[in-house]
Structures are given as C-alpha cells and as structure tokens.
Homo-oligomer: A and B are copies of this chain.
C-alpha cells in the first residue's frame, strides 16, 4: 500500500464525513471534565441517584446465575422480555395497546443514537432533506450529516415548534424541487431548547405532516422527566400511522448500558432489524437483561420520581441563579422537565468566541452553534442542570455571568466583536461548527 493510495482513500473519507466535525464537542467535554471547572456543558444523568449497591447486586447475579444466556449472542430485534417491559414503560406515556403499540414492533437499539442512525440508514440518500427544530440535538445533526442529508431548521418559540413555520418550511423545500424525507422532532423538554410542544400544537403538527405525506421521527428521551405535572402525550400516542417513536433508558436508568429502542410502523419493523443486524449483529444480551431485570424487579417508578425531584431542584437552582446573577438583556427558557435551559445572550456577545474565556473562568457550556446545521446560533448557550449539584450550578452561573459582563465591557471599549451573524432561520447548508477550543 503506497502512501499515495491511502491519501486517495482519505480524500474520499473527507468527502464522506463532510459535516461530521460536530464531534469537536468532544474536545470541549474533555476540558469541561477537569474538577476545577463547573461543567454546564454535558447532558449526563446524575447516576449517583441510583441505588448502586442494589443495581450492582442485580448485575452480578445476571452474570453468575444467568451468564450462559446473558453473556451469549442474542437476536437482532432484542429480547421479547425487554420489548414487553419497554411497552409497559411506553404505556405510562399513553403509548399503549389502544394506540397499537406491541412488543412485536419494538426494535432494541444501542442507545437512542443507533435508533436515529437506523432511521437515517433506511430513509436518507445523499442530498435528501430532513426537517428538524432549530436548534436540535447535536447527535442527530451528526447522524444526518453522516448520511449526507441536508437539515432544514424549523423555528420554535416557548410553545415548541411553530406550526406555521413547519408548513412554510415544507412549502419552501418542495418549491425548491426537493421533498423532505421526514420531520425529526423532540417535542417534550427539547434538547437543547428546553421547551415543550403544547397539546394543541401537537395535533396541528401531526395534521400538517399527514397532509404533506411527511413521516414523523419523534425522539423522546426526556418525556418522563417532568417536574410540574405530566408532560403532554407523545405524538405517537395520538397517531399510530406515520410516526416512528424513539427513546432510551439513558436518562431514566443509565446511559452506560446503551439501551434504547424504536417503536416502528409495522411495515418497516423488519427492515430496521435487518439494518441493525448489518450494523451490530445484535444488541448486548447482558445489557438487555440488566434493563429488563431492573424494570421487573426494582422500583423503577420510584427511581423515576427520585430523578425528577433531583432534577427539579437543580432546574430551580439554575432558574433562580440566572434571575439573580445574569446581566440585563439575557433571556432563557423555563423548562418543565428534562436536562437543559437554553439561554440567549445580550446583543453583541458571541457564545462560541466566548468559550475559551469561560473555560479560563472555570465554567463550561455548549455554544448554540453546535445545534444548528448552518453554523448559526452564536447568540445562544445550552446549560445543563442534571449533573452538577445545585450549589455548583449557582457558582457556574456566577462565573458565566462574570465572563459575560467582562465581554460586554470589552465590547464597549473595543467595539462589536467580529462574530458570526446571528441565527438565520430555516437555512440549510454549511457544516456544523463544533466549539473548537484551539
């Protein structure tokens, strides 16, 4: 193999992985994990809230007493036992037998990410269009861009995705001679925006998609982490046709096991299984047994309540801290659940340019640019409240507010910073700029 030839190949890769640089976010997380830094950057659950002794005992028994099955190969779709437990979990949100949910149509995946990737794999050809909220989950952008699809963002307000904007986006894409393949949406406690699509809009969005013949890919990792009463029912609980429902145990149990799922329209379930087999052969029998046993023998509903209480307290600490400490002209969402607050900086500040100075001040966040396919979002900041303790959250906000005030003062002296333009809505195109920290 000559160097030249490998270079040829590498050029091909470069074309193939166009847009994949969103993983620069890794660099940020590496810095953010230093103990002196208050990290509001991650999206990690607070695992210490689990009864780890009991979980450990359960995990040990799965190896010692059931190792000949849990440590062996499994089947591509996932075990029936786990798929039945998954249906019980979904029933809590109103996705039940009455709405056509069945273990037969559940496909177990390696976390929610593989669920997304399988849907992308089945649907997307290079150049295809996906509609998604703006901002949206950075991992979804990575998957869609790996599939060489273009993401067209649809704006949200405090009530979630704006139906009229969705209609306009569909019309725009169609007018450009392309057909959007699906709407990717996180309707409940959205990542990163922290907003929730209202009941009324849920029906409107479903009607719009039905009229346009547009499939809906509903990603719901956070729906069961509501702090102020129940969240609105998932889209899939309202309509059984045309909705893929994706979720995960990463936020309600533990991400380290990598267990998620898709509830798929029956006609395509087998295609998803075949695609998954080509990708991973089968999900981990051990991880599946761990989740199924957790759900059948441990008080998981009680644990969900614990997570909710821990996160509500932290959400409150964050909202109070923001109200007490942030400079004028700063705005933020008030999430009713989930893990994230989305903050809009005062005019003239650039969240991406500010990252190194924030790190120097020992606070980390993800700049808004990570959540837009078109490189916009410099005026936004995502703040996580699930992982740090309340007093650390307040300290982190204090540090961040200090950085913002310094930036504003410098701006008054030196004039507006040469930042990127503020977010243009609904644009497709450029690569995702991750927060490079070089």
Contacts and interface: CB of A to CB of B under 8 A. Distances in A.
A243 B143 CA distance: 27
Contact of A17 (B13, B21, B267, B271): B271
Contacts of A303: none
A215 B6 CA distance: 8
Interface in A107-132: 110-111, 113-114, 117, 121-123
A413 interface: no
Contacts of A139: 277-278, 281
Interface residues on A, range: 35 or more
Contact of A67 (B7, B16, B50): B50
Contact of A71 (B16, B75, B210, B254): B254
B9 A123 contact: yes
A33 to B, nearest CB: 10
A64 B57 contact: yes
Nearest to A277: B23
A362 to B, nearest CB: 22
Contact of A110 (B72, B123, B280, B285): B280
A74 interface: yes
Contact of A256 (B13, B52, B57, B286): B286
Contacts of A43: 73
A219 to B, nearest CB: 13
A121 to B, nearest CB: 8
A153 interface: no
A16 B12 CA distance: 22
B271 A13 contact: yes
Interface string A59-74: 1111111011111111
B113 A280 contact: yes
Contacts of A298: none
A209 interface: yes
User: 8 smallest A-B Cβ distances: which pairs?
Assistant: A60-B60, A1-B242, A56-B64, A56-B63, A71-B254, A71-B256, A146-B278, A5-B213
25 contacts: A1-B213, A1-B241, A3-B241, A5-B242, A7-B267, A10-B268, A17-B274, A26-B76, A45-B72, A48-B68, A50-B71, A52-B64, A55-B64, A59-B63, A69-B256, A72-B255, A73-B256, A111-B280, A139-B278, A143-B279, A146-B278, A256-B285, A256-B286, A258-B280, A279-B279
